[in-house]
Amino acid sequence: MDARRPIVPFPGLPRMHHARFVKGPPVNMINGPQINGLDSPSPQNVEIKSKRMAVSWRDDTLFYVPDRTGKQGVCILEPSMQPGQEYFEAEIVSTGRWGAIRIGLAPPDHSLEVHLGIEGNSVAFSVDDSTVYGQDKKTPLQCRASRPGDKIGVGIKFSENYMEGDDEKCPIVFTLNGKEIHRRDVVIPFKGLCPAVSMASPGQMVRFKARCDWSSQEEEMVIDSCEDDWARLHDVTVHGQILAYAGRGKTIADVGLAQARKPLSPMNHYFELEIIDPGKNCYIAIGLAKKDYPKKRHPGWNYGSIAYHADDGKIFKGSGVGDSFGPRCHKGDIMGCGIMFPRDYIMDSDEGESDNEDVGVVKAWQDREGPFNRLNRLDRLAQDNFALDVYDLSEDEYEDYLSEEEEEEEPQIDGVHQGAKVQVHVFFTRNGTTIGRREVHIPGSGFYPTIGMLSLDEKVRVDLRPLSG
């Protein structure tokens, strides 16, 4: 799929109350683009009733546009959910002036003027009061109010014998940032249940997330404590030992990052990952980084980090320019990273360390061949990241990278702060065989296991304490 074209969570066109279509590129449907004999939707394919809720398929975003009536805006995405396509997520972009966002399921003929969870067979999670409404039930949940950046997931646990058209009772599951928060049995009506969103406040915005992975609560409970191993998860979801990429995967600004809670130590000096699904491009990296490493940078790209990248087999050490190092890695390969500590190694405290997330340079994106200008820079980005649509970078994203490159760097040795004194050897393995090592200066607070991902559908299994280490 062309990286500049978005994916909608479910094929088909949405039914919306008071909707208008915001013109954008063609929509690439998951299960084939044929819709009523057309290759892609266009404004005339959408039923336009007024101008209340707008839909931009460029980034799969719904947003509420008020009118004089002040009524709710409702969006229903058809067709109904089925086995194999039983889960979706919606990210809260903005809660507007007040809450009143509901995310859930509704039959295709649900009223377009009534909040979800009030009538019929609809059921929905309310963002403002953390309550599930639907089918004559109101269930307050013991969780915090949702805020921008949170991902609300809704899924149906279909039985093995489920047949479309049967009025069958199935468990409906709600998740918050990948973790189950509520489950209830709901009767699936004859016409099924479709993903749905309702809004009622100016400024509200919700982004649908496509190709979401879903593990049941029972599966997560097998290794439930694994989630506590991670201090930071940006555009990455965790299910037991499995990390899955949850970002857009369109530009270099869409890096997903997972950083462990504890640094490597002489007692725990090695960790591994297995590539379960390489995704579209296998932009998977394993390495070590300083605490609070920039969340939108692959490990190895900025100082205070070192990493082995699966897609090209290169090693990156505090720079966007990689060096030839080892073989490329593919599905089923196990990549490992560890530190050879000196015998007298003692980890410093965090005090006195001044790490600034926005300081650093991705050197591969410097202009080495002429005057500094946006077009030249983007051409170089396109060469270094051929499968990513770097030309889709927004002005803010581009200026963010530009400002980082123009900032004065702190003195460095081997890509880390000069203030670090302890020198160690970092080594990497592939399928149990050591492929090389590099000498680096370790930050005072230590090196933290860090994993980066950048293309759709990437999934890895991580073992932070393998016996083979």
In-domain check, residue 5: no
Eight-state DSSP code of residue 363: G
Into how many domains does the chain fold? Answer: 2
Say whether both 61 and 132 belong to one domain. Answer: yes
Per-residue pLDDT tens digits for 272-290: 999 999 998 999 999 999 9
The CATH number of the domain holding residue 168 is 2.60.120.920
Average pLDDT on 263-273 reads: 94
Say whether both 350 and 415 belong to one domain. Answer: yes
Phi, psi torsion values for 173, nearest 5 degrees: -115, 135
Q: Answer whether residue 413 shows pLDDT above 70.
A: no
Average pLDDT on 393-415 reads: 46
Let me know if 136 is exposed, middle or buried by CB neighbors in 10 A (0-12, 13-18, 19+). Answer: exposed
Per-residue pLDDT tens digits for 342-363: 887 776 544 334 344 333 333 3
Q: Where are the beta strands (DSSP E) in 96-193?
A: 102-106, 123-126, 131-134, 137-140, 151-156, 168-176, 179-188
pTM: 0.48
Say whether both 97 and 75 belong to one domain. Answer: yes
Average pLDDT on 28-35 reads: 26
Say whether both 225 and 202 belong to one domain. Answer: no
Average model confidence (pLDDT) across the chain: 73
Per-residue pLDDT tens digits for 61-118: 887 877 666 677 888 888 888 887 788 899 998 888 776 899 999 998 888 878 899 8
Per-residue pLDDT tens digits for 375-389: 444 444 444 444 444
Q: Answer whether residue 402 shows pLDDT above 50.
A: no
Residue 244 lies in domain:
221-463
Q: Among 167, 188, 213, where does a domain finish?
A: 213
Eight-state DSSP code of residue 51: S
Q: Among 213, 243, 272, where does a domain finish?
A: 213
For residue 146, the model assigns a pLDDT of 82
Between 167 and 365, whose confidence is greater?
A: 167
In-domain check, residue 368: yes
Q: Answer whether residue 44 shows pLDDT above 70.
A: no
Are the beta carbons of 222 and 241 closer than 8 angstroms?
no
